Amino acid sequence: MPFDGVVAKCIVEELTEELAGGRIDKVLQPEADEIVLAVRARNRNHRLLLSASPRYPRIHLTGTVKENPPVPPAFCMLLRKHLTRGRIVSFESSDYERVIGINIEAIGELGDLSQKKLVIEIMGRHSNIILLNEAGRILDAIKHVDSEISSVREVMPARQYIPPPSQDKLSPSGLDIGQLIGLLDTSGKNVERFLLDNIKGFSPLLCREVCFRAGIEGSRRTAGLTDRERSSLADALRSVIEEISAGRYSPAVYFEDEKHQVPVDFHCISLRQFAFMERSGSVSKVLDLFYASRDNAERLRQKKADLYKVLNNSIERCEKKLAIQQDTLRESADSEKFRLYGELITANIYAIPRNVKKVSLLNYYSESGEYVEIPLDPDLTPQANAQRYFRKYAKAKSTYANTSQQIQQTQAELDYLESVLQMLDNCTTVQEIDEVRQELVDQGYMAQKRRRQDKKGAAVTKPFHYRSSDGFDIFVGKNNIQNDRLTFRVARSGDIWLHTKAVPGSHVIIRRNGRDIPDRTIEQAAVIAAWHSKARMSSNVQVDYTQVKNVSKPSGAKPGMVVYTNYKTAVVTPDQSLAESLKV
């Protein structure tokens, strides 16, 4: 876990400097396991986040504002009762433990000054936020732990608060590094695990950093280290501990590449194992940036999950239906054969004996004059057999026509569902996901979970906006509703419309503004269209383009479905770096 004991020590020092003496104005609970304290300190407003999330527990100042539930949870109401208008006296932590206490002075119900303590325990899935009275008894906790869950340590109202058991490790403060290195031979573990199991407050990330500075593979067995490697390990460990003890913090978020799009880790100590970073003078800003991106990704994943399920199930249903319809079409494709059988039997009706199972008749429609063997029902007369084949012909012909139409409808529905799936992949905000959800509700693929009271007044998301190297504005729809709006309401008749050929993707518009559009702009717009399509990982993608006046929507077509004429085709390879460089 990146939020280790060293980060906890650093954040306590920072929060003490920023918030000690501050007044708690509001208490909010936007998530089931998350509390936000609005604090006024040093003539500034702050938002202190405490999260007991099993995946991302932490405490830090945040600039992220989340929507709160219409009815505050019970724990939130309790905190409001005891902490609102209270003054933060101090923050405390003990010897690199990830248990942080906030001491608060508040006015009690009888108007007397009382002492409260808000404790956050950062322990993975066992994380918790607990409110204590001045006697150290639990008033309540965001997560209750009764005797059925833990017989060792209950976290329930009215119980005496018992801190989590201390780790049986050595504190970095006053650590005898020589003595620690002397334990390597008897460890039997790899180097990273040895450091993690013996030094309090160290996370696997910090242990890897020590190994990196020492030039040693963390997976190496401790007993196999040479004297020189032991010396390097001691020097690297000493340098890290000196930075911690001296408070030489250098908070930073670390990224997987130079684009700084995907944060992979953070720490308050400078990590030399990463090449790409974004430093900050505040550990809270680092934590906020890192966890906001992780939280946002998790929230988007959860919001998309049921939509993916609906879309994938609907696509699978359409594919099965399409396969059945194609089989039916193949079976009914021989309808002309039945008509031929009926006509040949009719033409030779007096020459066909009764009660035969088959007959060979001259095919007078064929130039070669071959004979055709026709199966017969011996229980029927030749005339009844002819009528039977004419009925088969009529049924097969009708089935062929109806099935052909059904295949077109099913294929159109499949194309639509795949386009929605592509749009869902491109969604980067909750609002964009909600628009896709509403589109599926409107099209009957999902039920409305709750009444949308704000539907008429709800703001719609804006399309992606790019600007070509020649200065032309390029707009890209984010979903099918937006595609229709962009093409038929926003775009002008002379603007250029682009879309990937036979591949689900976004509608793309190049604004002409009375100017001739050069080939370079069309090529760049085609690259953008290919990037915002299902073919974004392919090469040599065909992108059709034409004037908006040549694009029309068939009657009854689903959102985003159009037909177009008088088009040209460009062949391009999707390029994310080009798209990002042109984004406005």
Q: Quickly list H helices, 333-447.
A: 335-347, 382-426, 430-442
**What's the whole-number mean pLDDT along residues 85-105?**
95
3-state secondary structure of 387: helix
pLDDT digits (tens, 9 = 90+) for 368-416: 888 999 999 999 999 999 999 999 999 999 999 999 999 999 999 999 9
Pairwise CA distance, residues 204 & 191, whole Å? 11
pLDDT at 456: 47
The domains of the chain are located at 5-141, 177-283, 300-460, 464-582
Q: What is the pLDDT of residues 274-331, one digit of tens each?
A: 988 999 989 999 999 998 887 777 778 888 999 999 999 999 999 999 999 999 998 8
- Kindly tell me if the per-residue pLDDT of 453 is higher than 70: no
Topology match between the domains 5-141 and 177-283 = no
Distance CA 180, CA 446 (A): 61
Question: Does the pLDDT of residue 120 top 50, yes or no?
Answer: yes
Rounded to the nearest 5 degrees, what angle is found at the Cα of 130, between the Cα atoms of 63 and 120? 50
pLDDT of the residue at 450: 59
Write the CB contacts of 570 (distance below 8 Å, at least 6 apart in sequence).
Answer: 522, 523, 526, 542, 543, 545
| CB within 8 Å of 167: residues ≥ 6 apart | 97, 200
The pLDDT, as a whole number, for residue 226 is: 92
Would you say residue 527 has pLDDT above 50?
yes
Evaluate if residue 341 carries a pLDDT over 90.
yes
Computed over every residue of the chain, the mean pLDDT equals 91
Question: What confidence score (pLDDT) does residue 298 get?
Answer: 78
Range in 101-115, 251-265, 338-352, 550-564 the model is least confident about: 251-265
- CB–CB of 227/161 below 8 Å? no
pLDDT surpassing 90 at residue 263: no
Q: What is the pLDDT of residue 496?
A: 97
Q: Which tens digits make up the pLDDT trace of 66-77? A: 889 889 999 999
User: pLDDT tier at 151 (50, 70, 90 boundaries)?
Assistant: confident
Nearest C-alpha neighbor of 428 from the set 254, 534, 293, 558: 293
- pLDDT band of 455, cuts 50, 70, 90: very low
CA separation, residue 242 to residues 15, 43, 245, 254, 462 (Å): 22, 35, 5, 22, 51
User: What pTM value is reported for the model?
Assistant: 0.66
| Domain at 177-283: CATH code | 1.10.8.50
CA distance 179 to 270: 26
Confidence label for 261 from pLDDT (cuts 50, 70 and 90):
low
| 3-state class percentages of the chain: helix first, strand second, coil last, to nearest 5 | 40, 20, 40
Q: pLDDT band for position 582 (50/70/90)?
A: very high
What value does the mean pLDDT take over residues 327-340? 89
**Contact, 98 vs 5, CB < 8 A?**
yes
- For the domain spanning 5-141, the CATH number is 2.30.310.10
Specify the pLDDT at position 550.
96
Structure confidence by residue, pLDDT tens digits, 465-505 = 999 999 999 999 999 989 999 999 999 999 999 999 999 99
Task: Indicate if the pLDDT at residue 566 is higher than 90.
Answer: yes
Find out whether 365 and 340 touch, Cβ atoms under 8 Å: yes
